[in-house]
Amino acid sequence: MALTIVAALAIFVTLAFFRASITSWVLAIVVIVPVVAITASFSDDVLMVIGVALFLFIVFFGIPLVRRNVVSAVTFKIFRKVLPQISATEQEAIDAGTVWWDGELFSGNPDWDKLLAFPKCGLSDREQAFLDNEVEQLCALLNDWDITHNRADLSPEAWQFIKDKGFFDMIIPMRYGGLEFSAQAHSAVVSKVASRSGTAAVTVMVPNSLGPAELLLHYGSEEQKEKYLPRLAKGLEIPCFALTGPFAGSDAGAIPDYGIVCHGEFAGRQNVLGIRLTWEKRYITLAPAATLLGLAFKLYDPERLLGGETSRGITLALIPTDTPGVQIGRRHFPLNSAFLNGPTQGKDVFIPMDYIIGGTLRVGEGWRMLMECLAAGRSISLPASSMGGMKLCARACGAYGRVRKQFKMPIGKFEGVEEPLARIGAHTYMVDAARRFTALAIDLGEKPSVISAIIKYHSTERCRIVINDAMDVHGGKGISLGPGNYLARFYQQMPVAITVEGANILTRTLMIFGQGAIRAHPYVLKEIAAVNDHDHQRALHQFDEALFGHITFALSNAARSLVFGLTGGRGVVVPEGTETSRYYQQMTRFSAAFALSADVAMAALGGSLKRREKISARLGDVLSLLYLCSATLKRFEDDGRPAGDLPLLHWAMQDALYNIQQAFDGVIRNFPNVLVRLLLRALVFPLGRCLAPPSDHNGHQIATLLMEPGPARDRLTAGIYIPDDEQDAVGALEAALASTLSCEPLQIRLQEARKAGKLNALEELLRIVEARDQGIVTADETVQLERDYALRRKVIMVDDFAPEQLRAATKSP
């Protein structure tokens, strides 16, 4: 009888914690067997003690009223003491934006059907026409060597074309004269322009990212919208936005720039209520040529002219640059990049109150406004520009690896070169999938703050890997600057993308997991909100619900992590598809392990987790890679599951899953608490680390794919500018690849004739003529071979200069 009571109570304990879910019934069955086995030999007295203990446990944890006023009340007090202080700017960053697919990944049990149910990525007919016509025409106007070496700027023709054709107004609604493009179209335009010129891409993307137009659309008064948006749409205004200064970079909330509310003279009028501004900003793109300056500053009202507090917080204003006292014009020179970027200053510059974006109602809301808009802009601009460069590298490296020969073999067929080619192809495939998926989120109305940090970090970091690999594949061709080099400027300017819109070190170590753990976790934000609620009874009730929901969530993920660790995720119901089913199962396993590890880290480290940046970074890596994998599987499905893309899919997924495994291992090995280390290792890796990186054969398949024209290569590099002109470096490379493949049978014929002693000329062109004269090749084939030689030579050769040309180039800008 006592044994039956103990068994029943054990079941009730399990059900109480898991709220009669399917998990609870499974665990109840798992619990009852060892309970019965262990307690079968106990005396009735011992069983009764155990029964009483279980009964009390049920009373204190299973009855909401008792639990709330005893367990939760004590925990509530402790939680309030240990919760780290969150600054106002941190709180606004947390509150900004929305939770999207990152919430599913934090759940420990992502709904894969929901992932695949999102709409397919794509452009409207109007957007595609713009890409095929206006963007194509702009790219044809761009000569990156002339831009970066001779002019240090776009040509006047390119500037005018950008203004006239609406490249500055992609996000502005049509009712104001803008193009009103989707985020996907915006991304596609920037990506294509970036494949031709980084300078032009930055020039186009900045006005459509975080800047005056975006801020006016969301927060501007109707009067401000009517005044400025049509002028921005027509290219009559060149906008910039100034946030960063010498003493406030990544810590933008610490900006020292300030404005004092006062009365002053403006435009001949006396006693105008306004702001006297002082600022010093740097790294401001388009500032040297801007006509409209967006400015972030801290506003003070010492005379309380606006009423309320004297310190009003970060505020945003829109200031015409011809306002007296505004200083612009000087330029920075970021790593030989020619996009306009420079400082701006002002000392005691007086502006009226209606220059504040949104008017006086928006005083002090600047930081929230910036955080909300940054999520959208950061989701598009840098991922798109990175993708343009990555696709160019993928297409160029495949062609160059096939055309360039050493030791009588195309260099791309050497296994040592196949390795970087595989990385180039797979990283491009995965990042492009994430770029498209994230742009889709924006079009669905999301402002994904955590995801925007993920895509910014990983698109630029993987782009850095790709351009480094591309330079290695090209060797001397890559390091010799000149009109014939299509990689070097991209390589030089890569650190700019790494640094801007949230430096990558900061993004990885503080932002991705730091914001995600609070923002995307299903319970943490609710617990924090309850602790900060001044109504004690309401706070306690909300905290109790969140706390025990959190405990249930954590225990469920612990059990699922262990079971899936033992099975490798097998048995998890996932979307059909033999090529991808195991990936979905492994990701479900790692999602549960991630949710568990995040909870353990927050519980064990508390406020100190904020300073444990390496652990936070590794957990962020797991979340990031789960997101990239989700986007990659979504892409494969949306593209129709093409068999030709499987090498790219397999390499990208296997590499990401392997790195998730390594990131988990790094978290566990470096966790400061030994017991926690042992617990996590047992639950996450009960059978050890079993995943391996992609195979050499998989890499060989990708290298072959890149070196052979075909649908898979075209899909991978779709959307970049490919010139038809054989005098253009990229156009010549494309022509050389086609020529090399078509001339291969002829080259084999010449080699055989040479081995037979029929051809004796030492130079290739002379051997071709000799072969023609001997009837080995026809006259038409001779022309074909001579053209092939000329194309290969153009591709292989590097630029050279007269000494005086280089001396002129090294003069200070």
Active site residues: 501
Residue pair 471/478 in contact (Cβ under 8 Å)? The answer is: yes
Helix (H) or strand (E) holding 273: strand 269-285
d(CA 784, CA 194): 33
Residue pair 636/649 in contact (Cβ under 8 Å)? The answer is: yes
Q: What is the DSSP letter of 275?
A: E
d(CA 121, CA 128): 13
Strands 311-320 and 341-352: unpaired
Tell me which amino acid residue 528 is. I
Which residue, among 357, 263, 355, 360, has the nearest Cα to 303 in the 3D structure? 263
Strands 258-266 and 269-285: antiparallel
Residues 6+ apart with CB under 8 A from 481: 149, 488, 799
Which residue, among 327, 318, 315, 215, has the nearest Cα to 258 in the 3D structure? 315
Secondary structure percentages of the chain, helix, strand, coil, to 5: 65, 10, 25
d(CA 616, CA 561): 20
Residues 6+ apart with CB under 8 A from 605: 612, 615, 672
CB burial of residue 230 (10 Å; 0-12, 13-18, 19+):
middle
Residues 6+ apart with CB under 8 A from 81: none
Give the other-Cβ count within 10 Å of 136's Cβ.
15
DSSP string, 367-435: HHHHHHHHHHHHHHHHHHHHHHHHHHHHHHHHHHHHH-EETTEEGGGSHHHHHHHHHHHHHHHHHHHHH
Q: What is the DSSP letter of 721?
A: -
SS3 159: helix
Residue pair 371/92 in contact (Cβ under 8 Å)? The answer is: yes
- Token pair, residue 327, equals 């200083």
DSSP string, 58-127: HHHHHSHHHHIIIIIHHHHHHHHHHSPP--HHHHHHHHSSB--HHHHHHTTS--HHHHHHSPPP---HHH
- Token pair, residue 615, equals 């652990």
Tell me which amino acid residue 159 is. W
Residue pair 233/188 in contact (Cβ under 8 Å)? The answer is: no
SS3 270: strand
The full 3-state SS of 592-661, as one line of letters, equals HHHHHHHHHHHHHHHHHHHCCHHHHHHHHHHHHHHHHHHHHHHHHHHCCCCHHHHHHHHHHHHHHHHHHH
Residue pair 485/336 in contact (Cβ under 8 Å)? The answer is: no
Helix axes 729-755, 779-796, angle to 10 degrees: 120
CB burial of residue 708 (10 Å; 0-12, 13-18, 19+):
middle
Which residue, among 659, 703, 700, 667, has the nearest Cα to 683 in the 3D structure? 667
Which residue, among 148, 167, 195, has the nearest Cα to 385 in the 3D structure? 195
Q: Taking the mean position of all CA atoms in its chain, how far away is CA 301?
A: 39
